Structure 1
Amino acid sequence: MKKIKICGLKRREDIEYVNKYQPDYIGFVFAGKKRKLTYDQVVDLKKYLTSSIQVVGVFVNEDISFVEKLVKEHVIDLVQLHGQEDQKYIQALKEKVDVSIIKAIQIKNEDSFNEHYDVDYYLYDHGTGGTGESFDWSMLKEVDKPVFLAGGINLLNIDDALKKNVYALDVSSGVETDGFKDEKKIKKIVRRVRNEG
C-alpha cells in the first residue's frame, strides 16, 4: 500500500487533523513564503503530534548546520531537499546526520529522470514545488529508488495518482481550502490512499 504525506502544516488545527487521520508522514516547510515556519513554530507544533507520524523537514538550499540542529534535537525525522543541493552538499549533510534524505527533482521533461543523487528517496514535482500543478505523470519512469509523487495531487486526480508505481503520494494544496488545511479533504484523501472509501 502506498504511503501518504501531508505537507505544509502550519497551525495547531492542522496537527489535530493529522493526529486524527494518521498519514505516514507530515511536512514542515522551512522555505518560501506561503507555508514557511520558524524553528520555534515547528518545535511547538511537534509537541502535539502523535509520535507514530514521521516528520519531514523541507528545505531549500539551507545551511547544513540548521538542518543538523533539527535532526539532532529530534524535531524532524527525515530531510527533504527542495533546492539546488548538489551531491557535494548531500555528502556533507550525510556526514552530519543519520536520517533518510529525500531529494526533490523538478520534472520538466523526460531528461529530468536522468538526475541521480546519493539519497534514500526521490520526490518528483512540477517546477519549484508548491504550485499546486502536476507534471505529465505519463512520463514517469522506473528508477532505482522509492519515489514520492508530488505536485497538484487532489481528490479529483488521486485515483490516477494511486495507479502510478510510486512509494508515496505527497499532498499539500490538494487538501487546502482558501490556503488552509481542510479536515474533510485530509480525511478523504488519506482514506482513498488506504482504500477505506
Structure 2
Amino acid sequence: MKIGLFFGSFNPIHVGHLIIANHIAEYSDLDEVWLVVTPHSPFKKKKSLLEDHHRFQLVLRATEDYPKIKPSNIEFGLEQPNYTINTLVHLVEKYPDHEFNLIMGLDNLISFKKWKNYETILEHHELYVYPRVSQISDKPELFTHEKVHFIEAPIVEISSTFIRKAIKERKEIQPLIPHKAWTYLDEMNFYK
C-alpha cells in the first residue's frame, strides 16, 4: 500500500487540511493519506499547542467520514523533539509492506535541504508537493528531482493561527473547521 504522510501540528485541524489531503488521496497514485499529528516540531514553540491527545482527537473526528484519510499518532511514542527521518525509519520497521511518502507544501520543498538527513529521505521516499499562494522566482534544483511530484491541489489560505486568534476574539469560524472537530473544540472550550 502506498501511503502519503501529511505532517502537522493540526492546532487545530481545519477544512484546508482536509481539502488538500482529500485531493491528494483522490488525484494521485497514493492509496491513503495519513495525517500525522506532530507532538512538537523542532521549529515551533510547544507552549502554543493543545495537548497531543486533544489534537489527535480533533483529527480523528475530522477524518471519520473519509476512508482514504487516516489519523496517525505514530510520533507520540518517539523521542522529542522528533525529526521526519526518525518517523520514517520507525514506520518502515512497523509496516514493512507499506511504501511511505511525504506530502508537503511548496514552501517546505524550498527549505527541504535544511531537513535532517534530507538525502536519505529522498533516496527512499517520494515527495508530493502541493502549491502555495506565494510565488517563487528561482526554482531550486529539487524541483526537477525524479522523486518530487507536483500535485495541482486547490490553494487554500487558511491557517490554524488565524483560527485560534478568531476563536479567542469570539468570531464565528465554524465553516473553517470540520463539523465533528468543531463540536469537540466547542465542548472543550479550546482557544478561548
TM-score > 0.5, shorter chain as reference? no
With normalisation by structure 2, the TM-score equals: 0.39
Bigger Rg, which one: 2
User: Which has a greater percent of helix?
Assistant: 2
- Higher fraction of strand: 1
